[in-house]
Structure 1
Amino acid sequence: MTRTVLIVGCGDIGSRVARLELAAGQRVLGMARSPETAARLAAQGIGAIAGDLDKPDSLAGLKGGWITLYHLAPPPTSGTGDPRLAALLESLPEGSLPKKVVYISTSGVYGDCGGDWVSENRAPNPRTERSRRRWAAEQYLGTWGLRHGITAVILRVPGIYGPGRLPLERIRAGVPVVREEESPYSNRIHADDLANVCFAAAERPAAEGVYNVSDGHPTTMTDYFYRVADRFGLPRPPAISLEEARRVLTPAMLSFLEESKRLDTGRMTRELQPKLLYPDLESGLAACVNA
């Protein structure tokens, strides 16, 4: 039976999710803020419904009736919460709510864990404003889901890589990295595999609650930059001490150096059973070169 799903935030990852849903025979809708976006969606076989998360009045006409709502749109770049998510959820018609909401959050909600392995049982301790907004959104969605009896799936996602999502320009510019012995652990997931996890979260009837998402093979951030450089035949970036990095790197870059964790993805593997095409960085980067 054909069912309808709605993707809010139908960019790179959303388009990949849409392809999976369409291949499964579902009807896919995407929220569009402009006629140009609607045309782009139509070219991918995605129906468009008009709406702008920053203009709650534009959401008043939503009719609902979707089996799954994928909320992949980020929060605003300032503030303490996610008014976009709140505006969408509160605009949904009471009698026609989705069966499940799949929300992409960030592994940054855990904050710095000193390189520990981190399961979903770890108490969130977000350190950046960006992560605090995601944690606030998680709490909002959880409360809303309980109030309405709707299943909420929260995916805590680390760095996403793939074609067009690699730090090649930074490497070419010679921006330094931290010496490997001081470099934090980082986690990552290929864009195609993140879409597969989203799809599995929607399809598995028992999927509910919070899941860590990654390929399950964390390395240091410096190792990641070195391996990207090596794969693309670029010179490895220079290495400096963490103390020097704090003097010369931008606050945005430093925010990623101040947190170290290794994500335990056991729950994702057991319950979602996603089909990971790129279970490690070596296979994922090889696919990027050939893309």
Structure 2
Amino acid sequence: MADTNTTANKDFILLAFSDLHQFQILLFLVFLLIYITCMIGNIAIILIIKMDPRLHTPMYFFIGLFAASENFFVSSTIPNLLSNLIGNSKSISFAGCFAQFYAVCTLGGTECYLLAVMAFDRDLAINFPLRYSAIMSQSLCIKLGVFPWIVCLTIASVPTVFTLGMEFCGPKELNHFICDLGPLEHIACSVPLINRIIVIFTAISEIVSPFTITILFYIHIIITILNITSKIGKKKAFSTCSSHLMVASLFYGTAIIVYMTPQGSYEKYLALIYNVVTPLINPFIYTLRNKDVIKAFQKFKAKIS
């Protein structure tokens, strides 16, 4: 009991990829490049949307919010991973660990709900084109943009508080590169039933619920597109939501694999896809597959050159 009572006074050790000690420098360079690319890509999207009046629409407003949340998301994990790879210390303070846990839980859930909001926006645009501008007012856009943050800041506090209250036994080594629920439970003396219930509640609230909402909206969208007789009309309707559909599929797919499947020794590698690889790909999907953004980027590039 003496050891568990001093949990709050001890740091955790993030093992990260210490088993690949010969590749630490290479991994550092790769993750640094990914982080810089994510940050620049998302900042570029935000600036382009802000500077081009043609992109001052609800769809691009939500894309800009998603880009900003992506930068917060990668900034909550990758800098600490970079420090871990080349630093002498692999430790993270007790407070720092749970601050990161809360941030990752909040930001991941926020992005899930933002994707659901974006699906709602596309559904309105395709199914109610004449009433779309009147319904999707600036006031509603702001409310829909703030809603995911309020919901997920609240939801994330529940598993954070209950995990914070657990006792941790033995070596405080987390076989992961971030402080996440799975690794923390692995080193807990015991996991109370209420904690397991809260894990299920959090997964349903932050992943399953927005995923289900997104699926339902896209079923409605697909039914509408299939009923369009013109091939050009079908292509135009689908092009307005193809980028979002790809991002949603990638994000929800990796989130479900990481947080809703049995965990094992490969957990941190799956989490790497969700926390690092997916945020890297998203800016490219929204730019390379979006003609409006490409045109705005070319215009922006011409101005500064």
TM > 0.5: no
Structure with bigger helix share is 2
When the two structures are superposed, what TM-score results if normalisation uses the length of structure 2?
0.24
Q: Which has the larger radius of gyration?
A: 2
When the two structures are superposed, what TM-score results if normalisation uses the length of structure 1?
0.24
Higher relative contact order (CA 8 A, sep 6+): 2
